[in-house]
Amino acid sequence: MTLIAVGSPLPPFRVMDDRGNEVTEADWKDKTVVLYFYPKDDTPGCTREACGFRDGLEAFTERGASVYGVSADDGPSHERFRDKFELNHPLLADVDRVLCQAFGVWGPQEWKGQVYEGIARSTFVVKHGQIAHVFPNVDPTGHPERVLAVL
């Protein structure tokens, strides 16, 4: 599992968000985007991270950045997660793991001694179609503030 490198072009993709809208790399061509990958909807660390981005969204917007969360969960799962925690940014349903694999976040993970295939919690800042910053294997606590600091 090798993360996409700073300076790399945004890979091609086509996924659906939590409201049923299609999102592609072309949508971000001229934008600044924060893309955070998380393992699973409605789990403790993922909820803490998503709510941190929710609470800080105004500051991201003021800096000209859009925020998107990504997991391999499907649209209905994202919808429940969004509604339960009043999330105010899109969640992308990467059910085929196209984005996860393109960004290098899908691979062997370990939790409590068990090895499984999953998402390594990572965040990418994309500016004008290129990877501008990479945060690998992040701690969800305080992470949105660290991302905001590089914008």
Q: What is the pLDDT of residues 16-59, one digit of tens each?
A: 999 999 999 999 999 999 999 999 999 999 999 999 999 999 99
115: Cβ contacts below 8 Å, ≥ 6 apart: 108, 109
- Which sign does the torsion angle of CA 102, 139, 40, 1 carry? positive
Return the ∠ at Cα 128 (arms to 57 and 121), rounded to 5°: 55
At 97-137, the pLDDT tens digits run 999 999 999 998 887 888 888 899 999 999 999 999 999 98
Q: Encode burial over 98-117: b for 16+ CB neighbours within 10 A, e otherwise.
A: ebbebbbbbeebeeeeeeee
Structural domains of the chain sorted by starting position, each given as residue range(s) with its CATH number in brackets: 24-149 (3.40.30.10)
Give the three-state DSSP class for 82. helix
Question: What residues act catalytically?
Answer: 46
